[in-house]
């Protein structure tokens, strides 16, 4: 796996990440298997969003035992710092 350094940090992010949108209708076991396979292949970045249906919930369950191995990005509809979008 190739990695890139996040500018101004000592964090290395895999060039290939796991996108959460296709997971929204997957079964929990499928998501758990996917997270395990991603970790096994050196992927360390997951992108999701509140608007991706059950993606965040499914990933939260699947990340048990793997959480420290991934960087997570979860987008929101908020457009100002400190404000959360309602769901």
Note the pLDDT tens digit of each residue in 51-69: 898 999 999 999 999 999 9
> Percentage of the chain surpassing pLDDT 70?
93
Query: What pLDDT, on the 0 to 100 scale, is given for residue 62?
Result: 96
- pTM above the 0.75 mark? yes
pLDDT at 85 over 70: no
Q: Which of 50, 46, 15 is nearest to 34 (CA)?
A: 46
Q: DSSP letter at 66?
A: T
Could you list the beta-strand ranges (E) of 6-86: 12-14, 18-19, 45-49, 71-75
Query: What pLDDT, on the 0 to 100 scale, is given for residue 84?
Result: 61
Query: What pLDDT, on the 0 to 100 scale, is given for residue 76?
Result: 81
Work out the angle at residue 63's Cα, subtended by the Cα atoms of residues 60 and 67, and round it to the nearest 5 degrees. Answer: 110
């Amino acid at each position: 796996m190739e990695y890139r350094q996040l500018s101004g940090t000592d964090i290395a992010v895999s060039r290939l990440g796991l996108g959460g949108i296709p997971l929204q209708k997957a079964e929990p076991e499928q998501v758990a298997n996917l997270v395990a396979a991603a970790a096994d292949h050196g992927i360390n970045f997951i992108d999701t969003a509140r608007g991706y249906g059950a993606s965040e919930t499914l990933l939260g369950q699947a990340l048990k035992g793997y959480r420290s191995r991934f960087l997570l990005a979860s987008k929101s509809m908020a457009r100002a710092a400190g404000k959360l979008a309602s769901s």
